[in-house]
């Protein structure tokens, strides 16, 4: 059971474990956690919640999302494709050097999805971990020792 008191807020992609209680007027930051019955999971980060009925706050948030948030999200999403492009170029050079010209495209066409997905998955994980560390900071172990069922 999770308890959000009056005026509490939870950011996107936050984790609230069993027994978490977010105090009145507090907000759990995006990509972070709140302590539960078995301690904290991941990085715990909260701050006082802003009054969402405040028109100036809503306007500032809209401007911030439009001119900083959206370009940043697009850039971060595109960042994971950079290693993919280099890997596919290197893979094409590898295949073209070892297979005849008639078969090179067929070999590349059949194997390139595997190269693309493997490199893209690894780079997506690296980017996600880097962004989380930038936003939340280093992750610290919870207060209680791990035990079966604590997940």
List C-alpha distances in Å: 80 to 10, 13, 70, 130.
Answer: 27, 19, 16, 11
SS3 124: helix
Helix axes 101-135, 82-98, angle to 10 degrees: 160
Task: Please tell me the predicted confidence (pLDDT) of residue 93.
Answer: 94
Sequence-distant (6+) residues with CB within 8 A of 106 are: none
How many CB atoms neighbour CB 95 within 10 A? Answer: 19
**Structure-token pair, residue 22:** 């977010």
φ, ψ (nearest 5 deg) of residue 134: -70, -40
pTM value is 0.52
**What's the CA gap between 13 and 33, in Å, rounded?**
9
CB 80 within 8 A of CB 125: no
Task: Please tell me the predicted confidence (pLDDT) of residue 132.
Answer: 78
**What's the CA gap between 27 and 73, in Å, rounded?**
22
10-residue block means of pLDDT along the chain (151 residues)?
Answer: 82 79 81 66 63 70 78 86 95 93 91 94 89 72 57 47
φ, ψ (nearest 5 deg) of residue 39: 100, -170
Task: Please tell me the predicted confidence (pLDDT) of residue 151.
Answer: 47
């Amino acid at each position: 059971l999770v308890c959000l008191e009056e005026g509490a807020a939870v950011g996107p992609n936050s984790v609230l474990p069993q027994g978490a209680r977010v105090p009145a007027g507090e907000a759990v930051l995006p990509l972070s956690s709140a302590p539960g019955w078995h301690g904290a999971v991941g990085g715990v980060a909260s701050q006082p919640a802003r009054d969402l009925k405040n028109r100036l706050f809503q306007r500032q948030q809209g401007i911030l999302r439009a001119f900083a948030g959206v370009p940043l999200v697009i850039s971060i999403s595109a960042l994971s494709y950079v290693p993919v492009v280099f890997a596919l170029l290197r893979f094409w050079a590898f295949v073209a050097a070892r297979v005849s010209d008639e078969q090179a495209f067929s070999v590349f066409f059949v194997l390139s999805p595997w190269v693309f997905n493997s490199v893209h998955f690894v780079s997506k994980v690296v980017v996600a971990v880097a962004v989380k560390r930038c936003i939340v900071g280093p992750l610290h172990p919870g207060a209680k020792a791990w035990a079966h069922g604590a997940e």
